Structure 1
Amino acid sequence: MYQFMQYVNDRYGKSFRTYSDLYQWSISDIPDFWGAVWDYGQIIHSVPYTQVVDDATKLPGARWFVGAKLNFAENLLRYRDDHVALSFRTEGTPTVRITYAELYDRVARLARAFRDMGLQVGDRVAGFMPNMIETVVAMLATTSVGAIWSSCSPDFGIKGVLDRFGQIQPRVLFTPNGYSYSGKKIDSLERIAEVVQQIPSIEKVVVVPNTDPHPDPTRVPNGILFEDFLAKEKGLEIEFEQLPADHPVYIMYSSGTTGVPKCIVHGAGGTLIQHIKELKLHTDLKREDTIFYFTTCGWMMWNWLVSSLALGAHVLLYDGSPFYPRPDAMWKMAEEERISIFGTSAKYLAAVEKAHVKPKESFDLTPLKAILSTGSPLSIESFEFVYRDIKEDLCLSSISGGTDIISCFALGNPIGPVYAGELQCRGLGMKVQAFNDEGKPVMGEKGELVCTAAAPSMPISFWNDPDGKKYRNAYFELYPGIWSHGDYIEITENEGVIIYGRSDATLNPGGVRIGTAEIYRQVENIPEVLDSLVIGQEWDNDVRVILFLKLREGFELTEELQKRIKTMIRENTTPRHVPGKIIAVPDIPYTISGKKVELAVRKVIHNQEVKNKDALANPEALDYYKDLEALKS
């Protein structure tokens, strides 16, 4: 980050000394900033751009790197040496490693197989895959020939897969024979056989051995083993299709908890430059680093992680439960693999603390220089836990963005201080503000997260949305011409960001806006509580705050416990935050990518239909919230 600031000073005759100086310039001189990132990030291209952006105030519809031609996979495969590119670990099996040279060779053989079957620019390839080496190979081969990659994790149900891949009609589907979770082996081929019968566009199903070294590909229509599908020749050169910067590279999906998932199309150039900016500058990723993110292939953090290949780093892939066989399993792996950048979720860090794991007492984490956390707001207590019980000298970066921009609005700053409870900074080039109810920007007050200028990783379109209506409705309905993200935030005096939760799940008792994260922050401190969920119930012409608790084994929701929780919330927030009702439930529903589904529970308690339960990791949990007697009085 500091080196980049000096680069900008030299290039443009500036004298920036702080991140704040650099940030303000990056959002006021948007073309100059992104032009500098293009060169500093060494974007490989065959034709240079004629214009960085045609109109940064045009939202949606700004065009980036007009005239440029490039290939996404070529940028991720710039290194072809004996440095380890990818390592793969799963539950109870030896680590598999592959060098940059070996990765290039495997991608070349798969790309040739794609060309031999006539795969065209713009065709779709889908991965129903674990986070493993073959998934990365498949994505790189797909994008090398100009086809579009789309993936979800193998724990999705049949309907969840059909809701996603059924919309985009892929020609090739990659699947494992099965996957492992918490010591159990789960078969994938039975579900895929059913999926293939309902998506007629699929011509080939490439079966990847995972839980069984010799699976039977004939169990699925048009099935072939991964190794049998690869071209047989070695030493092939990849023909990287040269395409416009806004050529589609990925199709991502909204969570789909309120209806069929939206198919979000991302462009190659915008995704690539944003990831390089975030990894190289905001994460300080270098060639000698080992970067790990606990993610599935259904979450945009997978796409973000894999872009680390463009910087030549060692990327560690893990698939399975983070608590198998013990709660400290990931920290043992961090020691063994010498992880320097460890990415996870706020939920995981809170769970590790609840399990009384103290990694610094048991493991040598000398190489660890950064911990990244996303998925939900990271509590002040989790910040304290990291610095107290994991490592004192590291950069803890709470980061936040979304599938929608396949990157971050706010994230880490390696040359800035860390304040507990805050994301360090707004991302370079991201003109992020908090708007109050009057649509005016505010500092030090809560408001709606908006982005008032275009950014290169905003979607190029939604799939099957020819007039752009779905896209406009998703982000530009609240404030026309301004991106509204749906997060409820505060920009602090430190120029950091506090996230209070989703604005569509914001509670409004007595007309006062309350973010759910403010309540979660208090409840996480109660030792008897394993997990919690807060929603607003329409009650007596107002909103009543309802707090659902999943308690640790052996504990009950006594009056004394309820009183203690209410007192803690009242003393540390405001009387309006205090729940009208506290109710014990056996489970809290989550999406497959690990986010609490407040809106779905809110629908259930108001007797409204939840349309798409297949997006949930534990859809049966919603049944606990139906017709609750406690909510009738």
Structure 2
Amino acid sequence: MSKLLWTPSKERIEQTNMFRFMGEINQRFGKNFQTYPELHQWSVDNIADFWTVLWDFVGVKASTSYTQVIDDPAKMPGAKWFEGAKLNFAENMLKYRDDQLAIVFQGEGAEPVRITYAQLYDQVARLAKSLRDMGVKTGDRVAGFMPNMPQTVMAMLAAASIGAIWSSCSPDFGIKGVLDRFGQIKPKVLFTANGYRFKGKDLDSLEKISGVVNQLPSLEKLVVVPYTQERADISALPNAIHFQDFISREDGLEIEFEQLPFDHPLYIMYSSGTTGLPKCMVQSAGGILVHHLKELVLHTDLKREDNIFYFTTCGWMMWNWLTSSLGVGATIIQYDGQPFHPDAEVLWKMAQDEKVTVFGTSAGYIAALMDQEGQPGKHYDLSSVRAVLSTGSPLSIEGFEWVYREVKEDLQLASIAGGTDLNGCFALGNPMGPVYAGELQCRGLAMDVAAFDENGQPVINQQAELVCCKPFPSMPIYFWEDPDGKKYHKAYFDKYPGVWHHGDFITVTERGGVVMYGRSDATLNPGGVRIGTAEIYRVVENFEEIADSVVVGQNWDNDVRVILFVKMAEGQALTDDVINKLRAGIRQNASPRHVPAKVIEVPDVPYTLNMKKVELAVKKVIENKPVENTDALANPQALDFYKDIPELSK
């Protein structure tokens, strides 16, 4: 049984948006729901009614109302949402034009930049006019190769106001990684900063961008945003213009928000691309709008007075998710730089100084802070923080306990999980509910999430495949250059026809929470029994001698054996004693099947640019299979260490 870590007070529950929303459902439909599980069950049984109330509750701004919410709640893929509605995503993000702060930008080692809602509207209006004047139209692609900074948000909103489609990568992507993405979607305009900051160094982006623009014949304009230099030399870059020279100088402009169908494209997002060219997933303006507002307003309990921070780059869906907080009128806090420079707790100092109320980060960041014995709650005043969000990979039980011990006792820790594909979550936080160690609090409202066994049957308290049995509005509307929909169908619907198969391994608990175990395609199968890697990582993370690890299954003697690769902490050696303790710990805390057949030391562990371990790439290398797209990795050279390891041949 999971350990109970936190329960919200009755007063706190009754102040949540979720509680108000439940009251709205009770009033409209004659219900008497008192708990989240009741509300969730009703929401998946009454998809159309749920989204009708949600639309009103979050105040969607539309010039034309919808004729029906969904044409067929049993149809997946292909259900049509909010037909007849005309709206604009950017208009919904810019409902407020007052002097409240919209964005606080903290660049590494720099003074914060503060932008009000009135200033943001003005900047977007001027940028949108410039884009229109150069010929950007509805359906054109506008891309960003940008740090997580205000001008990235402005460019996205300006593009969306016209009905252009936005797509972005962060500046740590390599040239091939950028071209693998933007080369497919053929942008008309590309925004780039002249550089970015990391670990106290100014890094140049223009040399890299020169290798990109020369291979993007669709590009008509390269807009260079000042960051590391006030006015960099861009004379060698074709069609380049400084941001200051591109943005209109007219004052008092009103934005012409194109009124577009609910399913008009807004974003193109990308799969990780570690198994070939990244898939280009096209997501709708209306779908992203209502899905994000559901997650922010209800599950995150976001309100106008909140200051919300998420540590992210523009190459990760959490950037899009954070930016949608503007639709609530909250203040978004952006950080660009290395999160451990100049010290391990720099983000928590920022949380103190900016009175952050919702602090979002990754499980990897929390694990790294634990390794460094961080104690942010002791060193900083975190009285403003009421919620910590964690995603990117499963947060260990020890990670949960560390947050309550070293950050703050009275807060909601919401471990959240979903994917780039839906630009949102399947399981996430419930501000009305308790927090149990290692467990995501709930499945999302109107998300018919289940764990399917190998026979396609839902199971409780068993590890199985994450599926969603009913459609949801943020599903990709299509994949780019996939006219017959074959790639789209293969990605999600081949395994269980009519049911979204996500490729994660989960347990749904008897109380409706979710435990995540990582990718099911990286699942280990020793003796034909499927086990997740998360349980092994959880044990390994408790060993101070080990800095990092990656687990894979190796095909061996008509079976699969578990191989554990470990990166030792500085000054530590992989001795027989450490190996024996590891195996004993895994046997005791996981199961005998989890015990690795081999424990092998490596100098580094490979990660994607979004800081996810690439178990599949390691598995391919040890099986002498090609890894097709190493540009999707943050440290591709790490894979070299896994080639031709003698121990794996015996």
1:100 aligned residue: 117
TM-aligned CA deviation for residue 194 of structure 1: 1.4
Match of 1:356 among 352, 365, 373: 373
> What is the distance in 2 between the residues matched to 1:251 and 1:9?
37
Contact 2:231 2:242 in 1 (8 A): no
Equivalent residues of 1:335, 1:364 under 8 A apart: yes
Q: Residue 31 of structure 1: CA displacement?
A: 0.1
Cα distance in 1 for residues equivalent to 2:265 and 2:110: 36
Q: d(CA) in 2 for partners of 1:131 and 1:619? A: 23
Task: Quote the residue 2:408 is aligned against.
Answer: 391
Q: 5 Å matches for 1:270-289? A: 270-289=287-306
Q: Which amino acid counterpart does residue 266 of structure 1 have in structure 2? A: Q
Aligned counterpart in structure 2 of residue 156 of structure 1, from 139, 153, 173: 173
> 542, 560, 563: which one pairs with 2:580?
563
Indicate if the aligned counterparts of 1:144 and 1:241 stay in contact, CA closer than 8 A. Answer: yes
Task: Give the match's secondary structure for 1:218.
Answer: coil
Residue 330 (structure 2) pairs with residue 310 (structure 1)? no
What residue number does 2:428 align with? 411
Superposition map of 1:205-354 within 5 A: 205-354=222-371
Post-superposition Cα deviations, 1:85-138, rounded to whole Å, max 9, x if no partner, equal: 001111111111100000000000000001101111000000000000000000
Which position in structure 2 is the counterpart of 1:524? 541
Letter aligned with residue 367 of structure 2: A
Secondary structure in 1 matching 2:64: coil
Displacement after TM superposition at 1:163 (Å): 0.2
Is 2:212 the partner of 1:195?
yes
- Equivalent-residue separation in structure 1 for 2:237 and 2:53 (angstroms): 49
Structure 1 distance, partners of 2:372, 2:35, is 39
2 CA distance for matches of 1:107 and 1:147? 14
Partner of 2:636: 619
* Aligned counterparts of 1:308 and 1:403: Cα–Cα separation in 2: 17
1:443 aligns with 2:460: yes
Please show how residues 40-51 of structure 1 align to structure 2 within 5 Å.
40-51=57-68
Whole-Å separation in 2 of the counterparts to 1:538 and 1:621: 22
Q: Tell me how far apart the structure 1 counterparts of residues 460 and 635 of structure 2 sit (CA, whole Å).
A: 39
Q: Do structure 1's residue 547 and structure 2's residue 564 form an aligned pair? A: yes
Answer yes or no: is 1:599 the counterpart of 2:632: no
Give distance in 1, aligned partners of 2:581 and 2:288.
47
Deviation of the 1:598 alpha carbon: 0.3
Q: Is the 8 A contact 1:425 1:495 kept in 2?
A: yes
Report the counterpart of residue 582 of structure 1 in structure 2. 599
Is residue 137 from structure 1 mapped to residue 144 from structure 2 by the alignment?
A: no
The question of whether the paired residues in 2 share the 8 Å contact of 1:444 and 1:493 is answered with yes
Aligned-residue CA RMSD (Å): 0.6
SS in 2 for 1:382: helix
| AA partner of residue 146 (structure 1) | G
State the 1:534 CA deviation: 0.3
Structure 1 position 380 matched with structure 2 position 404: no
**Residue number among 97, 102, 105 corresponding to 1:80 in the alignment:** 97
* Alpha-carbon distance in 2 for matches of 1:409, 1:91: 33
Matched-pair contact (CA < 8 Å) for 2:195–2:203:
yes
1:463 aligns with 2:480: yes
- Helix, strand or coil for the counterpart of 2:138? coil
Aligned 8 A contact 1:322 1:330 in 2: yes
Structure 2 SS opposite 1:219: coil
Taking only the aligned residue pairs, the percentage that are identical comes to 64
Report the Cα offset of residue 184 of structure 1. 1.7
Distance 1:56 1:622 in 2: 45
- After superposition, the C-alpha distances for 1:215-259 in whole angstroms (9 at most, x for unaligned) are 123232111011110111011000000000000000000000111
| 2:625 aligned residue (603, 608, 617) | 608
Picking from 27, 47, 53, the partner of 1:10 is 27
Give the whole-Å Cα distance in 1 for the aligned partners of 2:480 and 2:217.
18
Distance, in Å, in 1 between the alignment partners of 2:78 and 2:569 is 50
Distance 2:553 2:175 in 1: 32
Judge conservation of contact 1:604–1:610 (CA < 8 Å) in 2: yes
Which one of 411, 432, 437 corresponds to residue 420 of structure 1?
437
**How many correspondences in the alignment?**
633
| 1:176-191 superposed matches below 5 A | 176-191=193-208
SS of residue paired to 2:461: coil
**1:53 maps to amino acid:** I
What is the alpha-carbon distance in structure 2 between the residues aligned to residue 21 and residue 439 of structure 1? 25
Give 3-state SS (helix, strand or coil) of 1:198's partner.
Answer: coil
Cα distance between partner residues in 2 of 1:462 and 1:270: 15
For residues 216 and 336 of structure 1, what CA distance do their matches in structure 2 show? 35
Q: Which residue of 108, 112, 115 corresponds with 2:132?
A: 115
- C-alpha distance in 1, partners of 2:167/2:393? 24
Q: Which amino acid in 1 is paired with 2:323?
A: V
Deviation at 1:630, TM superposition (A): 1.4
Does the residue aligned with 2:182 lie in a helix, a strand or coil?
A: helix
Matched, 1:475 2:465: no
Q: CA deviation at 1:273?
A: 0.2
TM-score by length of 2: 0.97
After superposition, give the CA deviation of every residue in 1:306-341 in whole Å (9 maximum; x if it has no partner). 000000111000011100010111111111111110
Read off the aligned partner of 1:456 and give its amino acid letter: P
Are 2:25 and 1:25 aligned? no
**Cα distance between partner residues in 2 of 1:219 and 1:283:** 46
CA displacement, residues 429-471 of structure 1 (integer Å, 9 cap, x when unaligned): 0000000011111111111000000000000000000000000
Q: Is the 8 A contact 1:178 1:186 kept in 2?
A: yes
Q: Is 1:66 the counterpart of 2:83 in the alignment? A: yes
Determine helix, strand or coil for the equivalent of 1:167. helix
Alignment-derived partner of residue 51 in structure 2:
34
The DSSP-based 3-state class of the residue aligned with 1:441 is coil
Aligned-partner SS, 1:16: coil
Matched residue, 1:490 = 507
- Give the counterpart letter for 2:435 in structure 1: V
Displacement, 1:10? 1.1
> In the alignment, which of 189, 192, 212 is matched to residue 172 of structure 1?
189
Q: Determine the C-alpha separation between the residues in 2 that align with 1:541 and 1:34.
A: 50
Matched to 2:463, the amino acid is K
Cα deviation, 1:347-390, whole Å, max 9, x if unaligned, reads: 10010011011111100000000000000001000000000111
- Give a deviation string over 1:505-547, Cα, whole Å, max 9, x none: 0000000111010100111011111111000001111101000
SS in structure 2 of the partner of residue 79 of structure 1: coil
Q: Please give the alpha-carbon distance, in whole angstroms, between the structure 1 residues aligned to 2:282 and 2:129.
A: 25
Alpha-carbon distance in structure 2 between the residues aligned to 1:597 and 1:615: 10
Q: 2:525 aligns with which of 505, 508, 526?
A: 508
8 Å CA contact 1:189, 1:219 repeated in 2: no
Does residue 433 (structure 1) correspond to residue 459 (structure 2)? The answer is no
